[in-house]
Structure 1
Amino acid sequence: MTSLELTLTGAQILLPSGLERADLGLADGCVVSSVTGRRIDLAGYLVLPGIVDLHGDGFERHMAPRRGAMKEMAEGVVAAEAELAANGITTAVMAQFWSWEGGLRSPEFAAGVFRAIQQVRGNVVTDLIPQLRFETHMLDDYAALPDLLEEWQVPYLVFNDHLPHDRLAEGRKPPRLAGQALKAGRSPEAHLEMLMALHANGDRVPAALDALCLELQGRGVIMASHDDHSAADCAAWQARGLRISEFPETAEAAEARRAAGGHVILGSPNVVRGGSHKGNASAVELIAMGYCDALASDYHYPSPRRAALMLARSGVLDLPAAWALVSSGPATILGLTDRGELAPGKRADLVILDAQNHRVAATFAGGRVSYMSGDAATRFLS
């Protein structure tokens, strides 16, 4: 695939040394140290490293815009990729559930999503990385999981446990039972019976996880825990070889993960909103305490850009440190050493923002245009 040969001039560019007015050369899909190709005047714009989104499930509405409308899943991935690009995301981890919740989070739907990503990823510009979010109490699915991940080319797995254990332990119906059952295509009675059976697996889960994590680690799968609540949670996952914690619910958990040499991913919507919608720890406070390595879109693709800029504007971090949470930080967590900063030899992954309103004007991934609009497009095309 052919990439552009250009030199961007006149813009404020976020380089490893900081924000500078400088020329930026692009050739063969990479940043180059010399001036090359056609010069594009980008006065009035900011050029920043492309956003690496470590966890996003905002594509669900593209895959199934209405109940039952799930026939063209590959087209849904293409539509989602366009939204990712329009929000400055150049590498996107697409987080798909494998859950007892059924519907869009069922194992069957997950298989369709991953096959659709395989089908289109060679024909889109954004680098799409599939992630499986696996519910820990689904013991019957453990044996097949490693081979399925290999078949679907899924390099990243996150362990979740969203069972309402407190209610189930008390023998009470969980909230929203009827709605969940409807989405899963079950009667409320059958859904509750299934939840109770999964809850009863609890004593067998730790040993099963030990064996599964060992197997996946041997296959090179990246693994993370989700919604850690305590230092004990982090220690248990650490013992299984996991080094990444997605969206820890408390400062205790975030501190424990960092103290053990691991990585903490927080949700950008938490930053933009000013707090967790579930009443968990404030992402801004955890960032100020130094307990964050990366911000992810979670369910809202505009949020990584907005969160990083809000952190810089409010003085919690300076712009280079804030933007690192959505670029070099997540790239490091994934082991993607070829991206995350605008340095010679790195991939030409970048987002161009209007300097006044900070809206995305253009996005390049691997030196190819994935999104371009307005006055910026006129400058490139004229």
Structure 2
Amino acid sequence: MQETILTNARIVTPDAVIEGTLTLRDGRIATIDEDRSALPGAIDCEGDLLIPGLVDVHTDNLERQVLPRSNARWPGVSAYLSHDAQCIAAGVTTVLDALCLGDLGFDTERNQTFVDGVRDLDQLAGAGVLKAEHYLHLRCEIPALDMPAALDGVAENPRVVMASLMDHSPGIGQYRDLTRYRAMRIRQTRMTDAEVETRIGELLERRERLRRPQREWMLQRLAHRNLPLASHDDDTEATIAENLADGIRISEFPVTMVAARAARAGGMEVIAGAPNIVRGGSHSGNVNAADLIEAELIDAFASDYVPASMLEAAWGLAARDTLSIPEAIALVTDRPARMARFADRGHLAPGLRADVVRLKPFGALPVLRGVWVAGARAG
């Protein structure tokens, strides 16, 4: 029997913060008691908070480990282990690695990251060397010529637990400002203004031709899996209406208040990027997530590109009394767990998986002091 007793703690339950003792036994939460344990093996948490392990339904962080510089690809397994360590250091115990399927002509390295990422996860998870529990979130670039072949090769992988429909074409969604898009591509590439303009024209022609048939093919290809499906970077009411008609029930990173309100009105769940909260706004000029919080339009946060942003965003909202501690923590634990259909984690209750994070508040910042994954110390 493996047992860990965490006492003299403030335990964050779905409804309250209680002082007491949390007992982990054989990978599960055994008991939550409102008193202090006198057992000699109990760990004194010194009044620190205990919260559920975070559930990140969308992180691109692996891409940043694989390509620490634009022209320097890092070995895949090493990059994955580094990514895993960063997730644990951020209190993220369940990770949906969001790998991009399909190239729209400016991000050719992403295809290799996808292929290597699926292979490396299968290898590493089977070896038992990862600290967090990792799954796959397929980010399907709908107008990309190579998206169907990439999806077909991974559609049956049991680690796939979520998929999103993306369209990063110029002038669409996140990139609806074409002037900003042109400037970004010229800055990021060695292409001339004329070459970028030519590429934009090619991409728009391809989108007109392929978007709808490839969208329908993707939905049909994954229908038997009954996965949670998300739309990505929604910007208009018309976009939301199309998604609802296609059976999509999650709006991931809506870029306008109009889209977020339409998503909520249609019964969709809304994911926002935690970095938007931490930074005080969108890095690409889209809607401020703080405004979405104020309008009660956010159901969950995802880290997007910085694992540490999830807990920092949630704790910041609690520290500023925007939300109660249980409400704020639920945005990065229970709510995303439900979205991804994990019934065994996301909040602290007897019988659930013992994914637990110990943290000490430092003003508006949370300092992690311990992480347990399925009852085993991981950080």
Under a length normalisation based on structure 2, what TM-score does the superposition of the two structures give?
Answer: 0.87
The counterpart of 1:232, out of the listed 224, 232, 238, is 238
Letter of the 1:230 counterpart: T
Residue 282, structure 1, aligned to residue 285, structure 2: no
Aligned to 2:53: 50
Indicate the percent of aligned positions where both proteins have the same amino acid: 34
- Most deviating of 163-172 and 59-68: 163-172
Residues 110 and 41 of structure 1: is their aligned pair in 2 closer, same or farther, counting only changes over 3 Å? same
Q: Distance in 1 between matches of 2:138 and 2:194?
A: 28
The amino acid of 1:254's aligned partner reads A
* Structure 2 residue 228 is matched with structure 1 residue 222: yes
**Contact 1:57/1:94, CA 8 A, preserved across alignment:** yes
CA contact 2:20–2:32 (8 Å) conserved in 1: no
Unaligned ranges ≥5, structure 1: 372-382
Q: Mean Cα displacement is larger for which, 101-110 or 111-120?
A: 101-110
**Per-residue deviation, 1:30:** 0.7
- The answer to whether the aligner puts 1:251 opposite 2:257 as a matched pair is yes
Once residues 88 and 26 of structure 1 are traced to their aligned partners in structure 2, the CA distance between those partners, rounded to angstroms, is: 17
Kept in 1, the 8 Å contact 2:251–2:271? The answer is yes
- Contact 2:137-2:161 at 8 Å conserved across structures: yes
Q: Secondary structure at the match of 2:378?
A: strand
| Residue in 1 that maps onto 2:205 | 200
In the alignment, is the contact (CA less than 8 A) between 2:58 and 2:98 conserved in 1? yes
Which of 9, 12, 16 in structure 1 is aligned with 2:10? 12
Change (3 A) 1:280 1:67: closer
Give deviations 1:170-215, integer Å, cap 9, x for gaps.
Answer: 9999324445444xxx888776555433311233312331232122
Q: Does 1:362 align with 2:370?
A: yes
> d(CA) in 2 for partners of 1:359 and 1:126?
19
Work out the CA distance in 2 between the residues paired with 1:269 and 1:190.
Answer: 32
Give the whole-Å Cα distance in 2 for the aligned partners of 1:172 and 1:29. Answer: 49
Instruction: Calculate the TM-score normalised by the size of structure 1.
Output: 0.86
Confirm whether residue 343 of structure 1 aligns to residue 349 of structure 2. yes
Question: Whole-Å Cα distance in 1 between the matches of residues 178 and 349 of structure 2?
Answer: 57
- Assess, with a 3 A threshold, how the Cα gap between structure 1 residues 220 and 369 changes in structure 2: closer, same or farther: same
Q: Secondary structure at the match of 1:155?
A: strand
CA distance in 2, matches of 1:365, 1:119: 20
Give the C-alpha shift of residue 168 in structure 1: 11
Gaps of 5+ in 2: none
Match of 1:374 in 2: none
Matched residue of 2:182: which SS? coil
Residues 154-233 of structure 1: matches in 2 within 5 Å?
154-165=160-171, 174-182=182-190, 193-204=198-209, 205-233=211-239
Q: From the superposition, tell whether residues 315 and 101 of structure 1 become closer, same or farther in structure 2 (CA, over 3 Å).
A: farther
1:88 is matched by which residue type in structure 2? G
Q: Give the SS at the match of 1:175.
A: helix
Name the aligned partner's letter for residue 97 of structure 1.
C
Give the superposition deviation at 1:102: 5.0
Contact 2:253 2:271 (8 Å CA) reproduced: yes
Cα pair distance change 1:45/1:141, threshold 3 Å = closer
Structure 1 vs Structure 2 CA RMSD: 2.9
Could you tell which deviates more after superposition, 193-202 or 77-86?
193-202
1:1-382 alignment, distance < 5 Å = 4-33=2-31, 38-70=41-73, 72-98=75-101, 99-101=103-105, 103=107, 105-121=109-125, 122-143=128-149, 145-151=151-157, 153-165=159-171, 174-182=182-190, 193-204=198-209, 205-356=211-362, 358-371=366-379
Cα deviation 1:35-88 (Å, max 9, x = unaligned):
898311112311111111121112323223344543521111111111111111
Q: CA deviation at 1:152?
A: 8.2
Q: Which amino acid aligns with 1:291?
A: L
